[in-house]
Amino acid sequence: QKALYDEKLIAREEWLKAEEDYLLSLDKLELVKNKEIQDSLYRTVQIEQMQESLDNMKINMQMIRKRKDNLTIKAPIDGELGLLDAVLGQSIASGTRIGQINDLSSYKIEAQIDEHYIDRVTAGLEAVFERQNESFHAVIRKVYPEVREGKFKADFKFSGEQPENIRTGQTYYMNLQLGLPEEAVLIPRGTFYQYTGGKWIYVLSPDGSRAAKREIRIGRQNPQYYEVEEGLQPGEKVIISNYETFRDNDILILK
């Protein structure tokens, strides 16, 4: 427009209006540029704030997950829960023992044995027990020296296969072999021993009509039986009850 005005091709009013529009456009352009810069800075600040909020949310989520994990009860080993000592609503501190985990991969057998055998029971002795018509073997792992209420404790471990579906606390009767098997004459323990001291006993005749005093010699014994080393033959019947009423008679007539 200025070139046209200089050559007198347009009127002065038209040139002034064009110049005014031009300057106004420059001002608007400057305003747009400034606004764009401000918007860019604002968006940068917004992005930074949003990123900070996102980071805080991630931290909070991690804390929530950690708290959730802390609410999960964990056991140090794999196994079966055999005992739980907790009630609904109970507040439990971290590390508190509230149950018992049974390790199903390995079992220990605890046996209570009469103190009479404490000198003969040692680690390595074998025992046999039956379950569901099958025989299983175990070996003594440890013998405890303490005697309580006439019994001492020994720990066994399975030798070979172990029973299926076995449970903690089950009771079995084990046959413990204290030595090599041998034949012996055994008589049940009875009150006759307190009267005779095990030096003699009444032996029944074959027909059971009388009983004769006979000297014997008692050897080893356990809570159930006496071993008779001399004086009796296998199959002979004896009287093992109280002898006080017999008054040391050599022969008893039985009716």
CATH number, domain containing residue 121: 2.40.30.170
Q: Which domain holds residue 32?
A: 2-70
Task: Looking at the structure, tell me whether residues 54 and 107 fall in a common domain.
Answer: no
> Is residue 20 in some structural domain?
yes
Residue with tokens 């390595």: 124
What is the pLDDT, as a whole number, of residue 172? 83
CATH number, domain containing residue 194: 2.40.420
> Is residue 84 in some structural domain?
no
Cβ neighbours around 211 below 10 Å, total: 21
The tens digit of pLDDT for each residue in 15-53 reads 677 778 888 888 888 888 888 888 888 888 888 889 999
Task: Looking at the structure, tell me whether residues 164 and 191 fall in a common domain.
Answer: no
> Is residue 79 in some structural domain?
no
pLDDT band for position 209 (50/70/90)? very high
Residue 125 · residue 175 · CB < 8 Å: no
Task: Looking at the structure, tell me whether residues 153 and 196 fall in a common domain.
Answer: no
Task: Looking at the structure, tell me whether residues 196 and 168 fall in a common domain.
Answer: no
> Is residue 92 in some structural domain?
no
Let me know the angle formed at the C-alpha of 175 by 161 and 186, rounded to the nearest 5 degrees.
155
Pairing of strands 210-215, 200-204: antiparallel
The tens digit of pLDDT for each residue in 53-102 reads 999 999 999 998 888 877 777 777 777 777 778 888 888 787 788 887 87
- Could you list the beta-strand ranges (E) of the chain: 80-84, 99-102, 108-114, 126-131, 134-148, 151-159, 175-176, 185-188, 200-204, 210-215, 217-221, 225-230, 238-239, 251-253
Q: Which of 222, 226, 227, 225 is nearest to 120 (CA)?
A: 222
Q: Which of 104, 86, 105 is nearest to 96 (CA)?
A: 86
> Is residue 87 in some structural domain?
no
> Is residue 112 in some structural domain?
yes
